[in-house]
Structure 1
Amino acid sequence: MNYTLQQQLPPTATNKQNNGYKRLRLFLWKIAHGAIPVGAALARRGIKVNPICTMCCDAEEDVQHLIFLCPFSRACWLGSPLAINSHALAIGEREAMVYMRSQMSDDQWGMFTNIIWAIWRTRNDCAYSSKSPCVDNFNRDLSAIRAESMLAGLLGKEGERVDRQTGEIEELCCFTDGSWGTEWEGGAGLILMKGEVLQGYQYWGVPACCAVQAEAIAMLKAIDFVKATKQARCTFLIDCSVVAKIASQLQRPQEEDWRASRELHEIWRAFKQNSRFSCQHIPRDQNDLADILAKKGRIHGGHFTGYTFPL
């Protein structure tokens, strides 16, 4: 089988999830060449570290053991959407990755690389934060990495351009959306852009009693996020007409919005006090990515912030 390392990396034109990201490509190159700083490699270089695997404490931590043979990693692979028996890949990390790339579709390969990255994150939590390996934590890391990968592929990363119709707005803009399910299950999501360059994104699980309250909470989260960046001007884009009307026209909340009264009044005050903030109502189909994040926050809960493809 005559495959080069370049062929086993994500192809530039076809893999939307991992399209051309230098950090990911460099990480995969290091994995394939055994160049990531695992315990056994550091010990061979004379660095005084424990060479034993931090996740299973049962074998030397080389790349092949960490990614494919560690009992925890094997459990993660078997429980993943790919359901791989990673013990069968103990043929050398480079050979294993080249072989799997030749057998997988682009979407499968994107998932394969995300799983490797999530295992590496879990390992680092064990090594540097003294956390015990946990499948739930691995699944959360994998979910976060998949979200980052998707957004990096759809929005772009630092220095890349994005085909996104935003209209005549200020340079810094924030797409904001809320999601509401049943009872008190809500989610909030935002995507911050500067021109056509991704600046960051967040999603949360939030308690909300109605859709308007979820949208209002999302706007308040977005305001706090923008303030934390210390940017002077920002246009907020939202597909909720109630929130947009209050923020753009500075109209006090009406009685029919009583379930979200506190949040809407806070939005009204925030925009009234800051003349550098503006708001525009946009169609739902132009706010699809913030909607995806809001739904992720509602379904999975928690809170996550990303700026580019995961380091």
Structure 2
Amino acid sequence: MLPNIKTFAWRLLRRALPTGLRAGRFSIHISKTCCRCGQQEDEVHLFFMCSFSRAAWFSSPWFVRSDALVQGHSTLHSVIDVLRMRHLYGSLSNICTLLWCLWKARNDFLFHRAKSLPHQVHIAALALTSNVYDNALLLNQTPTPTQLSSNQIPLPGRTLRSDLLADGAKIYSDAAFRTKKIPGLLQGQVGTGVGIFISLPSNGGEINVQVQASAPPTSTPLQAEALALNFAAYLASQLNIAQPTFLTDCLVLAGAAALGNVSTSETPWSIRKSLASFFKTTYQLQPKVFHISREINDVFCCFYRTLTCLLQERWQ
């Protein structure tokens, strides 16, 4: 990541960017509204809700409906966490570079009346991306040197193209962030929904174990996913499952869990406590952790939604 983009990212996450709403509090000569659409300009509006930003996010290679993305999230941090966990191109470098280009396009229009088109934001982002792998992602390509064939298994923490490539016991984990669809939850309250799907090989077949649980609400989706993985580790320990393969659709979490050390700089502070518990619980199990796509995990998600509905009917 370039130094100027690092500085921008620091100011953005520290809520120090001079957006219209923030800068307008210090001078009556500074407009608090967006220079493009006339709405009040805070970070969420500038980067995700403005018509220009929405068009940029919806174009190649992101194809994200940013107006739907920010719904249910009160902070920019949680929105970025969702992108990092759920999107194929959601590395922190790619996200910050695109946000910086949106910021520069806004400043060029506000101060110099220089108009640009949404797709030009991606061209500028590609030109600024110094990392070769991130460069390939923005081009919607996979870098040739690290391209995997269908019968190769990647290193732990990386993306597993198919769960069929994993041998032995497989444990899928998923979490519902700040959901109201928890049986027995009072009206207006939210919690964290946790679901675990365990597949155990047995005499040429398999035994499936499905578990649903709930927990108090977490601050970020990443913390919710870490909580689910920690609960999956607890179940594996209680069932004495040796050499399990944990599968999660959160790439950041999979990478951090595969490191085996909470003190590394790559591990987010918000999930270090959960990961420390995960490492302690699975110390003798010799686990592996991989990232899988949301589509693969949808098999489990369908079960989770069905079971939730059945339990809600029972509670009513």
TM-score (norm 2): 0.38
